[in-house]
Structure 1
Amino acid sequence: MSLFERWLTLWVALCILAGLVLGTQLPGLFGALAGLEIASVNLVVAVLIWAMVYPMMIAIDFGSLKAVGQRPKGLVITLVVNWLIKPFTMAALAVLFFDHVFAGLVDPARAPEYIAGLILLGAAPCTAMVFVWSQLTKGDPNYTLVQVSVNDLIMVVAFAPIVAFLLGVTDISVPWETLILSVVLYIVIPLIAGTLTRAALLGKGGDAAVAAFTARIKPARCWACC
């Protein structure tokens, strides 16, 4: 790992500290940035998420899907955990902590917002980190590629319905406009952009060109994660 990746925890902590200080000292500026939104989707956050997700989308080879049936056990476990267990477990934990365990510490008007945030988080598997974990554990990169590709395809169609269902179960109004816009902005657009970029790079220099391009834009993704 590079120096930046090795000390990523420190950079994240420093970014959190910097955010707290800047938010306290420049509330007007950050209030204006928070107001740059469409259908409750902040455009500044969208740009940072694109910087984080776009390099990962370039690394995805949907041609690897032809190998999806070669070793189904691991893939089945991943899909069951990601789509049949994790979203519902996260929703249950959110209700448990914000409606019961920490009910006396959380503003009742804010509790549904925290619950909705955890539901959104639980229903969106972080496929970018899968590549990092696979590399750290010396996993099979090709099999990792298959899992990420399948999960991203499922996420395009399953994220909004699952979130809408869980929000409805927890008596939170379903913001369909926000959900649909989020799927388009955070999943569909980066996926299309990454696929087109990968195709162009493969046509010019093959896998080496893809690896070189993703290495150049990797720092932007790391800072966006922070």
Structure 2
Amino acid sequence: MTTTVPAATETRQRLSTLDRYLPVWIVAAMALGLLLGRGVDGLDDALSAVEIGSVSLPIAVGLLVMMYPVLAKVRYDELGHVTADRRLLVASIVLNWVVGPALMFALAWLLLPDLPDYRTGLVIVGLARCIAMVLVWNDLACGDREAAAILVAVNSVFQVVAFAGLGWFYLEVLPGWLGLEQSALDVSPGEIALSVLVFLGVPLLAGYLTRAGAERARGREWYETTFLPRIGPFALYGLLFTIVVLFALQGDAISGRPGDVARIALPLLAYFALMWGLSMLLGHRLRMSYERSTTLAFTAAGNNFELAIAVAIGVFGVTSGQALAGVVGPLIEVPALVGLVYVALWARRRFTWSTDPVRSTS
């Protein structure tokens, strides 16, 4: 059966040329990054020479440009409707901070029992919940923007207070209980807080101030019909720029060990498919709307690759297997979640969803 789509959301389903060919642009960006990393001597050193919160400055700039337009679209005066949805908040916390890390731990040990460095890197990836690119995937899949903003904020708080403790549990305590090999993770909450402040706090504040100031000066209709379409494409420009820089930084590591990359990719693919599918199904069973089910699924399936890479490099070194596993994360996550955007849009047409009011508009 096909669900009826509200007119306000229908307009968002008509993807622009840039959006429709996003997989092509992403593959091109990945290839360009790899070519630059392999072909330009000293480029990786130059790109990583300046850092913000242990992340390369060019990557930081790309992430901020990517997140700002999406956060400028959020209707902040409607966030109360999201916080009142206990189903959504509880489901998101359980999926992100109980199911996600446990699933990645299980997949890492099941599929990489003989590769402890890569296994540890994947566990770190599983602990780093997404606070950046998920906003782009959610927007492309016509998810609930206000819900995404709230869930990303919740993930950020949990990331600061829980990341180090969960790292200790999954790398030392649980393996010890199970008689498995143990490793250690030494990362301070302060370092994680700085990453969250930079990569979420800055664009969130900019988006809020932009909407508040522009609506006060010109009104909501002008803001949403004239201003937002002008800045909207910069989210994808920032995404593509970030991908180019990231793959340029790690071109040698990725292209030099294709067999290892393939081994790391297998549990990652399984993780993204299982987390997204489980979350989407849970949202449907809890009678959430398509928009909120989609937001729940993408916020649960995505990972904070910039934090995972920074932690792996800071603790184990830039040439470590743990760092390579972190780098392979976005190599697999980006095309996988782009593919899931199209799966989500198909599921929207194919299945009947709850008729909860849709509060996100173009």
TM-score under structure 1 length normalisation: 0.79
The Cα of 1:40 is off from its aligned counterpart by: 1.9
Aligned counterparts of 1:113 and 1:73: Cα–Cα separation in 2: 32
Q: Given the alignment, which residue of 19, 22, 26 partners 2:33?
A: 19
Contiguous gaps of at least 5 residues in structure 2: 1-14, 172-183, 241-362
Aligned counterparts of 1:93 and 1:123: Cα–Cα separation in 2: 19
Q: Given the alignment, which residue of 207, 211, 214 partners 1:198?
A: 211
1:54–1:191 contact (8 Å) kept in structure 2: yes
2:68–2:207 contact (8 Å) kept in structure 1: yes
Q: 1:6 to 1:145 in 2, by over 3 A?
A: closer
Q: Given the alignment, which residue of 211, 222, 225 partners 2:236?
A: 222
Q: 1:131 to 1:37 in 2, by over 3 A?
A: same
Is structure 2 residue 64 aligned with structure 1 residue 50? yes
The Cα of 1:160 is off from its aligned counterpart by: 1.7
The Cα of 1:74 is off from its aligned counterpart by: 4.8
1:58–1:194 contact (8 Å) kept in structure 2: yes
Aligned counterparts of 1:158 and 1:17: Cα–Cα separation in 2: 35
Aligned counterparts of 2:48 and 2:122: Cα–Cα separation in 1: 17
Deviations 1:164-223 (A, max 9, x none): 222222222124343121111111111111111110111122223332322212222112
Aligned to 2:142: 134
Aligned counterparts of 2:213 and 2:121: Cα–Cα separation in 1: 42
Aligned to 1:213: 227
Q: 1:46 to 1:8 in 2, by over 3 A?
A: same
Aligned to 2:194: 181
Aligned counterparts of 2:109 and 2:60: Cα–Cα separation in 1: 27
Q: Secondary structure at the match of 1:134?
A: coil
Contiguous gaps of at least 5 residues in structure 1: 136-143
Deviations 1:117-171 (A, max 9, x none): 4432x45471332222126xxxxxxxx2442232133134222223222222222
TM-score under structure 2 length normalisation: 0.52
Count of residues in Structure 1 that have an aligned counterpart in Structure 2: 211
Q: Secondary structure at the match of 2:141?
A: helix
Aligned counterparts of 1:40 and 1:110: Cα–Cα separation in 2: 21
Aligned to 1:166: 166
Aligned counterparts of 1:68 and 1:183: Cα–Cα separation in 2: 21
Q: Secondary structure at the match of 1:166?
A: helix
Aligned counterparts of 2:32 and 2:83: Cα–Cα separation in 1: 47
Q: 1:24 to 1:191 in 2, by over 3 A?
A: same
2:63–2:238 contact (8 Å) kept in structure 1: yes
Q: 1:114 to 1:58 in 2, by over 3 A?
A: same
Q: 1:51 to 1:92 in 2, by over 3 A?
A: farther
**What is the letter of the counterpart of residue 163 of structure 1?**
F
Q: Secondary structure at the match of 2:187?
A: coil
Q: Given the alignment, which residue of 65, 69, 84 partners 2:79?
A: 65
Q: Identity over the aligned pairs, expressed in percent? A: 27
Q: 1:48 to 1:155 in 2, by over 3 A?
A: same
Q: Which region of structure 1 is more displaced relative to structure 2, 183-192 or 156-165?
A: 156-165
CA RMSD of aligned residues (A): 2.7
The Cα of 1:110 is off from its aligned counterpart by: 6.0
Q: 1:147 to 1:38 in 2, by over 3 A?
A: closer
1:83–1:123 contact (8 Å) kept in structure 2: no
Point out 4+ residue stretches in structure 1 off by more than 6 angstroms. none
The Cα of 1:95 is off from its aligned counterpart by: 5.0
Q: 1:67 to 1:95 in 2, by over 3 A?
A: same
**What is the letter of the counterpart of residue 166 of structure 1?**
L
